Amino acid sequence: MAVAQDFNAAIDVFNAGATALEGGNKTEALAQFRSALTQFQACEGDEAAEMIGKCKDIIPGTILSIAKEQINEADYDKAVASLAEAQSVAKEYGKDEIASEAASLVPNVYLRKGSTLLKDKDFAGAEAAFKEVVALTPEDGQAYLLLGQSQLQQAGKLAETTESLEKAAALGKADQANKLLSNAYLKEGQALLKANKTADAVAALEKSNSYVESGNAYKLIASAQSKAGKNKEAIAAYKKYLEVTPNAKDSADVMFTIAATAQKAGDKATAKEYYTKLSGDAKYGAQAQAQLKAL
């Protein structure tokens, strides 16, 4: 009689869990099913064994369902914890499909979390979340791209940014990654030039051009080389600027700079070439013709 009473009490708890589940209260349902499982495990007989099996069928799926609700509610930390629990319990109870589904959702949770933090400008938090994604899915180019973007927004992380974005480029995100890297090193070059670190500035600007060529980078390289007294290198960079941006509004100014720099350096051929190009220019024509006569 005592055994029957214990079994019936466990049935009541199980039924309470089923009622809670039907009513959408999954947390309460989970608590009831777990309590019922413990009580059935204290009973003997085939009926108890059958109910133990039913509890073990229901519990992992209920935990997974709770995790999905937490994802939809953007409660990402709780969702990750619930998914880990779902995996653990599902494996223990031999529910491999549920364990696999729970595991597959974890990278997506971290990706959502990172994207939300990136949007909210919590760049360090976003970086941490995206690192979790790439650790779980190392072939995800988009995750590496987002990781690089979060690192790019933090001071002193250019090396980490480069590593992440180069990985993204290798995984099919080359266009976006290379543009970001080119801009990053362009800004680095500008800062170094402003700090009078001309050699470092040139190195950074050349690296910028290694990802995506830009007229701005070549113009800054020319400025840095002029500052360093390297007229030949400055002229070469100005020529590349004109080549990359043939319709630049300041092209006449740059051509005059090339001519004047070449003349100063004793490179008469280059000076004549560019003064000749400017001989009919409204702004520089008279000066160019005068210099051609002098040469």
Give a yes or no: residue 190 inside a domain.
no
DSSP secondary structure string for all residues of 246-270: TT-TTHHHHHHHHHHHHHHHT-HHH
- Which tokens go with 254? 């740059």
Q: How far apart are CA 130 and CA 145, in angstroms?
A: 9
Tens of pLDDT, residues 73-124? 999 999 999 999 999 999 999 999 999 999 999 999 999 999 999 999 999 9
- Which tokens go with 291? 């210099």
Q: Give residue 250's pLDDT band: very low, low, confident or very high (50, 70, 90).
A: very high
Q: How many domains does the chain have?
A: 2
Q: Give the predicted TM-score (pTM) of the model.
A: 0.88
Give a yes or no: residue 187 inside a domain.
no
Q: Give residue 6's pLDDT band: very low, low, confident or very high (50, 70, 90).
A: confident
Give a yes or no: residue 139 inside a domain.
no
Supply the mean pLDDT for the chain: 96
Give a yes or no: residue 87 inside a domain.
yes
Distance of CA 41 to the CA centre of its chain: 49
- Which tokens go with 51? 């109910």
Instruction: From 147, 134, 145, select the one nearest 170 (Cα to Cα).
Output: 145
Q: How far apart are CA 259 and CA 266, in angstroms?
A: 10
Domain end point (choices 72, 106, 140): 106
Domain end point (choices 85, 106, 127): 106
- Which tokens go with 105? 């959702």
- Which tokens go with 37? 């499982």
* Parent domain of 8: 1-106
> What integer pLDDT is reported at residue 5 of this predicted model?
77
Report yes or no: 152 and 177 within 8 Å, Cβ to Cβ. no
Looking at the chain, the whole-number percentage of residues with pLDDT higher than 70 is: 99
Tell me the C-alpha to C-alpha distance, in Å, between residue 199 and each of 50, 65, 116, 254, 273.
77, 58, 39, 22, 29
Mean pLDDT of 46-56: 95
> What integer pLDDT is reported at residue 2 of this predicted model?
52
CATH of the domain at 45: 1.25.40
